[in-house]
């Protein structure tokens, strides 16, 4: 079995930053990722709030981070982590393909797109329903789309799509947005963006592909809107259930840990969006990555 000082689960901003710090401290590091590197930020067309970058695409940011970690010596494998076994001073990280032994684990596995839970939703993915505007937006050039959600993802998706689609309906269940006011202002200035507030999507109508959505307002009035695409951006859910026995999670499934990123299991740390915390931003994910790595390094050195 291959042996590492630190195995990091997830190659998003938190995981890759942790890898950079751990490699610079001469630790043997493996990063495991189930999808593509970059995590959620890869879907953000334009990052404007990361210190020292006035504009950078999420893809470019993630790629630079990935290359930086790899150039510093991090090994990065694309395998799904099934389970982590805590054997005290040694942890065994089991993937679909391999088992890896290590002294410390950093969980930086982020979260998954939340679904609306409507009939047809899963079946229409790739046929009108999408969770990623930067991945699929180009298919809707000159067409009508809806974006659902009121956070930064929905706002940024709506802005991105307004430059491609003829019409963007931004649907949100309240009349106040959770996302940044500056983006709301930009959207209000767009001629082809229509806000539909205090409303929820109640039905997806489709033949071979999505044809229209039904939107119910808070008084129960239903409006049918013809759209070619629906971009669902209603947040994320963590996927920590069953990863390690006895790992303490909060009610929403996030890993309980303070600012020091220590979980309740000795030698297991958590960084980024999967940690229970108030502010989930790119900068707080990279910050967590640095802290988790420093704490893991300290933990390993104390055992040598
Ligand atoms: P979010 O901030 O959790 O927002 C989710 C939105 O979806 C909320 O407006 C919520 O409504 C709505 N929602 C949740 N469940 C719903 C349902 N079942 N039906 C209808 N609407 C529902 O998620 P996010 O926008 O994906 O952002 C996640 C984190 O990443 C946030 O911390 C965000 O700031 C950050 N982020 C940052 C950037 C950036 O810094 N450039 C870019 C993207 C994301 P309510 O408001 O009513 O709860």
Per residue in 151-174, pLDDT tens? 999 999 999 999 999 999 999 999
Is 102 an annotated catalytic residue? no
Confidence band, pLDDT 50/70/90 cuts, at residue 239: confident
- Using the structure block, give the residue that is written with the tokens 């709301």: 184
Phi, psi of 64 (to 5 degrees): -60, -40
Choosing among 3.20.20.80, 3.50.50.60, 1.20.120.1200, 3.30.499.10, the CATH entry for 129-232 is 3.50.50.60
Query: How much is the pLDDT for 236?
Result: 87
- The model carries a pTM of 0.79
Please give the CATH number for the structural domain made up of 2-112+236-302.
3.50.50.60
Query: How much is the pLDDT for 126?
Result: 86
Q: Which residues lie with the beta carbon below 6 Å from any ligand 1 atom?
A: 44, 47, 49, 114, 149-154, 156, 173-174, 178, 200, 233-236, 280-282
Segment 29-86, tens digit of pLDDT = 999 999 999 998 987 878 888 999 999 999 999 999 999 999 999 999 999 999 999 9
Domain boundaries, the chain: 2-112+236-302, 129-232
Phi, psi of 28 (to 5 degrees): -85, 120
Residue nearest to atom 43 of ligand 1 (CA): 153
133 token code pair? 């505007």
Q: Indicate the burial class of 94 (C-beta count within 10 angstroms; 0-12, 13-18, 19 or more).
A: middle
- Can 2-112+236-302 and 129-232 be said to share one CATH topology? yes
Listed in sequence order, the DSSP H helices in 99-217 are 133-136, 152-162, 181-188
Query: How much is the pLDDT for 85?
Result: 98
66 token code pair? 């990935």
Active-site residue, from 119, 135, 175, 260? 135
Is 136 an annotated catalytic residue? yes
Query: How much is the pLDDT for 272?
Result: 97
Residue nearest to atom 13 of ligand 1 (CA): 234
Mean per-residue pLDDT, 112-116? 92
As a whole number of Å, the end-to-end CA separation of the chain is 20
Please say whether the beta carbons of 177 and 184 come within 8 A. Answer: yes
């Amino acid at each position: 079995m291959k042996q590492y000082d630190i195995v990091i689960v997830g190659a998003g901003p938190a995981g890759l930053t942790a890898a950079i710090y751990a490699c610079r401290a001469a630790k043997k590091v493996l990063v495991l990722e189930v999808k593509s590197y970059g995590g959620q930020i890869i879907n953000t067309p334009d990052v404007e709030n990361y210190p020292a970058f006035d504009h950078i695409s999420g893809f470019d940011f993630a790629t630079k981070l990935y290359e930086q970690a790899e150039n510093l010596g991090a090994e990065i494998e694309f395998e799904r982590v099934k389970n982590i076994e805590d054997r005290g001073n040694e942890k065994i990280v089991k993937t679909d393909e391999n088992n890896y032994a290590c002294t410390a684990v950093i969980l930086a596995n982020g979260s998954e797109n939340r679904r609306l839970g409507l009939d047809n939703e899963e079946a229409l993915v790739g046929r009108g329903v999408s969770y990623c505007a930067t991945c699929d937006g180009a298919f809707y050039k000159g067409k009508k789309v809806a974006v659902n959600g009121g956070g930064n993802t929905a706002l940024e998706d709506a802005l991105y799509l307004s430059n491609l689609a003829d019409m963007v309906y931004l649907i949100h269940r309240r009349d106040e947005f959770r996302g940044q006011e500056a983006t709301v202002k930009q959207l209000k200035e767009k001629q082809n963006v229509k806000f539909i507030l205090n409303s929820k999507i109640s039905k997806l109508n489709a033949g071979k592909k999505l044809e229209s959505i039904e939107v119910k307002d808070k008084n129960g009035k239903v409006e049918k809107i013809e759209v070619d695409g629906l971009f669902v951006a209603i947040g994320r859910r963590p996927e920590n259930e069953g990863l390690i026995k006895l790992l303490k999670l909060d009610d929403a499934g996030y890993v309980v840990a303070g600012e020091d990123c220590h979980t309740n299991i000795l030698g297991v740390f958590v960084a980024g969006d999967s940690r229970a915390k108030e502010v989930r931003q790119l900068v707080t994910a990279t910050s967590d990555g640095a802290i988790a790595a420093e704490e893991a390094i300290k933990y390993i050195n104390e055992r040598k």
